[in-house]
Amino acid sequence: MSFQEGIRVRAAWRAHHGANTFAVAVVLAVLITAIILPGRAQAATNAGAFLSELSSRAIAELTEPGLSEAEKEARFRALIREGFDIHKIGRFVLGRYWRRASKSQREAFLAVFEDMIVYRFLPLFADYSGEALVVGNVRQFSDNPNLFSVSSDLKRPDGAPVQVDWRIHGKDGKYRILDVVAEGVSIAVTLRSEYASVLKQNGGDVAALTEALRAKVATL
């Protein structure tokens, strides 16, 4: 799947499931802010509480009346940095090409990767119209006690709820989101597929992918 084909796939997905649903599901994934919660014995419970409480905070911060575009962007970027593990996600989406990249190439990629998330998804938040995230079951992975799968339903004022599953890393009471799976579609896996196509076309050159993303960001 090429970079442009990946974009078209997601566009078709949005058209099928509703642009507003996709927007809110993705933006909620990006917006959740990290919180410190005590006690490892209640780690699974806290992972769910983290998601429920902070989703409400994120919506409040980004829909506050009278915010300038610059302030919205600043808040959005701060929330991403606090609540999303950009380093781990970036390493995952690059796959084996991460190991081939130099330190400077990795840093340049992560910087533009963050920009891509900001400029691509922040405008979608204008579609928010009262949706609410209801957290369901929380499952702790047996092979990794620091990794949790949290199920949820995105309740909409008009229309059926949308199933959204979350991958959350928690250690010493500190949580970060690693991925969101909306209606069976993983954002991280989708991006990995897109980026792998670009990397293969450029001989595994991470710098070439970074430049492609930088050019894309400039159009957003």
- The encoded tokens of residue 87 equal 């380093």
pLDDT tens across 28-41, in order?
544 443 333 333 33
Distance (Å, rounded) from C-alpha 60 to C-alpha 48?
19
Average pLDDT of span 176-193:
89
DSSP state of 129: -
C-alpha distances (whole Å) from 219 to each of 43, 183, 201 are 41, 28, 22
The pTM for the full model equals 0.75
pLDDT tens across 137-170, in order?
888 899 998 999 888 888 878 888 888 888 999 8
**Domain range summary for the chain, segments of one domain joined by +:** 3-219
Q: Which CATH architecture has domain 3-219?
A: Roll (3.10)
pLDDT tens across 51-72, in order?
766 676 777 777 788 889 899 8
Distance (Å, rounded) from C-alpha 218 to C-alpha 115?
10
Closest CA to 177 of 56, 37, 83: 83
